Amino acid sequence: MAEAPPRLPDGVAPAAPILCNEPGSFAWGVFHDRHPRLLEQLCDAFPYDADQRRALEALLDESRTGSVARLSPRAHDAALWDAWGQRNYGRPWADVPFLWAESYFYRRLLDVVGYFTPGPWKGVDPFAPAKAAELASATVDDELAALDTLPQLANDQSREALLASSLWGNRADLGFQITADAAAHDGVDSALVADDRARFWTHLAESPASRVCLVADNAGRELLPDLVLIDYLLQAGLAAEVLLQLKPHPYYVSDATTADTLACLRRLTAAGGEAARIGRRLWAAMQESRLMLRAHPFACAPLPYADMPDDLCQDYAGSTVTILKGDLNYRRLVGDLHWPAVTPFASAVDYFPGPVVTLRTLKSEAVVGLQPSTLARLDADVETWRTGGTHALIQFRQ
Ligand SMILES: O=P(O)(O)OC[C@H]1O[C@](O)(CO)[C@@H](O)[C@@H]1O
């Protein structure tokens, strides 16, 4: 399945997949700069034994200079990964698509630390310490306290504030922060490079309230504002029910699992004030099945959404809109290809089975849907606009 030519509408030229074989490229840096630091952080956070540390080192070496080895045939998901990666095993990591390679790196990492193996490390999330520290932080206290101003805002002010929080919450991504320049986060002139929010709100307002699907990205400081947005959609009658899609296991450092979602709900309810009211409403919405969780294996697949299985296709086709959060979901939506950035968004996502809106801060190279003038200005003014997390987009297709 991997590397099947992307399905493109008439008139849209195929673009090549992004690989990680070009020294100095963003994708190359993920394997050569970010992953070594990530593994150092893990070894600081856990007393892994010598075998585990050797295996981590071996994974790093293999992924930087070696060929892609298969999962053990005893792995519970060996058959899935055989299907997802048959063209890639035995090839140099650098020559397989970046989207596939980065995802497989996280799957192999879980193997090395024993996450799936019967034994004492089974089920121990290697990213839990970082996620827990973020959730307990004073920054989160402040962000939750700020919710107390919400009831004083007019409806259109609240909805814009909540959409913006969910969008920019995507910048608080623990994996990205491993190598992101702190200066790139603070005090910069953050900007939207595409902004379809008016069309998104109009679509929601004009659709009979039914199901909205939100495909989550990171836990903690991103998932909290996502949950607040979900509460708003339910309260405002813009959604009768919400399907929240999560990861079935730890992934890309801070991606949200069910356990992370429950931790966020508890954080909200324990905060007092408006945050607690929101948390209690969401708790009740879950009990009444108006907020439903899903953790489909495809959420951690190394593939573009164009290859989604039928049951997910039905989820999206049956929703008023699917809200796709974050950079990786965007890469999967458009196929992580070297698109000309002015390719119309609607053409690139033509295959998607229902209305879709993407809320993403830009942390990697793939992008479509820009106006030529916007692209020219960004290329002239900001060297790292595609990858620095300083820019964001809201793109909608009905
Ligand atoms: O959490 P997000 O927004 O999906 O970001 C994940 C992104 O982080 C990276 O792992 C490194 O920036 C990208 O390769 C990936 O797309």
Facing residues of 257 across strands? 247
Pocket test for ligand 1, best of 327, 334, 384 (most atoms within 8 A of CB): 327
In angstroms, what is the span from residue 240 Cα to ligand 1's centroid?
31
- pLDDT (0 to 100) of residue 57: 97
In angstroms, what is the span from residue 345 Cα to ligand 1's centroid?
20
Q: What is the mean pLDDT of each run of 10 residues along the chain (398 residues)?
A: 51 81 92 97 97 97 97 95 95 96 98 96 98 96 95 94 95 73 46 96 94 98 97 97 98 97 98 97 98 98 97 97 98 96 96 98 96 95 92 97
Please choose, from the candidates 147, 62, 160, the residue with its C-alpha nearest in 3D space to the C-alpha of residue 112: 62
How many Cα atoms occupy the beta-carbon half-sphere of 380 within 13 Å? 6
Distance CA 86, CA 134 (A): 37
Minimal-distance CA residue to ligand 1 atom 8: 176
Do 172 and 361 meet the contact criterion of CB atoms below 8 Å apart? Answer: no
Do 263 and 273 meet the contact criterion of CB atoms below 8 Å apart? Answer: no
Angle (CA) 78 73 255, round 5°: 35
Do 124 and 166 meet the contact criterion of CB atoms below 8 Å apart? Answer: no
Residue 361's contacts (CB-CB under 8 Å, 6 or more residues apart) are: 167, 168, 170, 171, 326, 327, 389, 390, 391, 392
- pLDDT (0 to 100) of residue 283: 98
Is this structure's pTM higher than 0.90?
yes
Angle between helices 258-270 and 138-145 (to 10 degrees): 60
Three-state SS sequence of 1-68: CCCCCCCCCCCCCCCCECECCCCCCHHHHHHHHHHHHHHHHHHHHCCCCHHHHHHHHHHHHHHHHCEC
Q: Which amino acid is at 343?
A: T
Q: With the C-alpha atoms ordered 200, 337, 27, 294, is the resulting torsion angle positive or negative?
A: positive
Residue 292's contacts (CB-CB under 8 Å, 6 or more residues apart) are: 241, 242, 243, 244, 286
- Structural domains in the chain, sorted by start: 26-126 (no CATH), 139-397 (3.40.50.10880)
Q: Does the CB atom of residue 326 touch ligand 1 within 6 A? A: yes
In angstroms, what is the span from residue 1 Cα to ligand 1's centroid?
22
Angle between helices 98-112 and 50-65 (to 10 degrees): 170
Q: With the C-alpha atoms ordered 396, 176, 231, 159, is the resulting torsion angle positive or negative?
A: negative
Distance CA 169, CA 354 (A): 25
- pLDDT (0 to 100) of residue 2: 43
Minimal-distance CA residue to ligand 1 atom 16: 328
